[in-house]
Structure 1
Amino acid sequence: MAQRAYSDTASSTRTDRGTEYEIIARVTYRIKQAAQQGKRAFPQLVAALHDNRRLWTVLAADVSAEENGLPPELRARIFYLAEFMQEHTRNVLAGNAKVGPILEINTAILKGLSGRRANR
């Protein structure tokens, strides 16, 4: 019960930015793990990529909303990345592309959410 009480408190104090970070970090980890295991983990890769697509669909919808407070240029860039993720994921699933760019983009977003600059 103590663990449950603590986790309820921890989740209630998490910021939106922290929640976004956690979700992106988890899906990125799952993609990386499945990709490292090769063909035998293809079902896990498909599931992780599906969740990543859903995540980027939500991000695209969020930045498309009129009430979104981000600067217009940043909103446009995030929307473009969401479109890229959809297309690149389609290519990965068809066997025509690698997951590297997906991992790189998610990692750059994680660095941005944590306040660190991407190494570029």
Structure 2
Amino acid sequence: MYQSAYAEVLDERPQTMRDSEREAFDRSIALLEAAERAGPGTREAAESLHFLIRLWSILLDDLASPGNSLAPDLRAGLISIGIWIVKEADRIRLEEADSFVPLIEISRTIRDGLKGQNS
């Protein structure tokens, strides 16, 4: 009985992880949209960039882990995207760029891809 319950938890774990990742992207998108309305240099901008960089730091660590089960090409692509996002966030923070729109659009695309994995 306990073994079957444990097996069910293990089977649900990837689903739960994807749900958590999707929720993190939802939160990040909401913060980025608020920052886009408020503009660079605002509290909203700082909060959104901090959250975005923390999110991608966690994701990049996981993607670089030898235990990550994603296909190598997909991992490499996501790592490239993550590096670009962190660099773009820094550009906004340093006021070298002023639009959050590219970050929002890419975040939505990735979030929507996570939804597709659950179907």
Alignment length (residue pairs) = 104
Query: 1:1-120 maps to which residues of 2 (within 5 A)?
Result: 15-38=16-39, 42-97=42-97, 98-115=99-116
CA RMSD of aligned residues (A): 2.1
Q: Which has the higher contact order (CA 8 A, sep 6+)?
A: 2
**Alpha-carbon distance between aligned partners in 2 of 1:78 and 1:51, rounded to the nearest angstrom:** 18
Structure 1: gaps of 5 or more residues: 1-11
What percentage of residue pairs aligned between the two structures are identical? 27
Alpha-carbon distance, 1:38 to partner: 3.2
Tell me the alpha carbon deviations over residues 73-98 of structure 1, each in whole angstroms, 9 at most, x when there is no partner.
Answer: 01001111111011101111122222
**Alpha-carbon distance between aligned partners in 2 of 1:105 and 1:72, rounded to the nearest angstrom:** 20
Alpha-carbon distance, 1:33 to partner: 1.4
Query: Which letter maps to 1:76?
Result: A
TM-score, reference length from structure 2 = 0.79
TM-score, reference length from structure 1 = 0.79
Structure 2: gaps of 5 or more residues: 1-11
